[in-house]
Structure 1
Amino acid sequence: MSEQQVQEAASKLVAAFAANDTEAYFAAFSEDASFVFHTCEQPLHTRAAYRELWEGWQRDGFQVLACQSLNPVVSLQGDVAIFYHDVATRLRIQGEEIESRERETIVFRRQQESGHWLACHEHLSAMPAHLPPT
């Protein structure tokens, strides 16, 4: 169990998101994962709920074009790890390209049977507008 393993799990999750790879992205989350996004009216309580929302977005023309993780930090807490970073994302939504800067916290839980780290909670918030780019 190490910070490096958590960092690798986070890097794989971000890479799958950046590649718009739905299967690999959702495989990085546990089934009971929860999600809080500043762009959604209410929390999503399961991976299935988020995937349903994601697939609806895709039907409406949503596509991830790029995603960069900046300033990553890992804090180990036994079989749980807190990963947070700044995120620069480029999306296509209904034909329009949008760039965003956000701050994200992902909680990972080490799986007892395999030792792998899966994300069990994600919280995404808007980056305060007054902060300079990093």
Structure 2
Amino acid sequence: MVKRTRFDGESCPVARSVDVVGDWWSLLIVRDAFDGSRRFGDFQRSLGVAKNILSARLRSLVDNGILETVPAGARHEYVLTAKGEALFPVVVALRQWGEAFAFDPGEPHSQLLDRRDQQPLRPLEVHAADGRMVTAADTEVRKVD
């Protein structure tokens, strides 16, 4: 088996983030947690992932502080932590990118709606400190020496 490359020593925040939640199962578990899944069986039914893979991903998400386990009768449930909740804009950005580029025009797909008015969310935007919208062309990365 090929050993996975670790990025937890990188100076790049994107690399470190990918190290924690970058595989698709972890991101889909986080998505399902936002959608209300809390028990192992809920995640397993939704994702159809092998139990050993799901168990490893849940353990990793707990170990990295994205999820925590809380007692629920004789078992336990997985709940997003504040660190996990902070992934909401990441999940929304992936969803909005997918809506724009991963479906044919008119192809049906799930929608994320505002509970208050049942309307889709506005597209996410990135803003500079002064409030103006910025694109990749307006930014630069200052590398650590």
Using the size of structure 1 for normalisation, the TM-score is 0.23
- Please identify which structure carries the higher helix content: 2
TM-score, normalised via structure 2 length: 0.22
Q: Which protein has the larger Cα radius of gyration, Structure 1 or Structure 2?
A: 2
User: Structure with the greater relative contact order (CA < 8 A, sep ≥ 6): 1 or 2?
Assistant: 1
Going by fraction, where is strand more abundant, 1 or 2?
A: 1
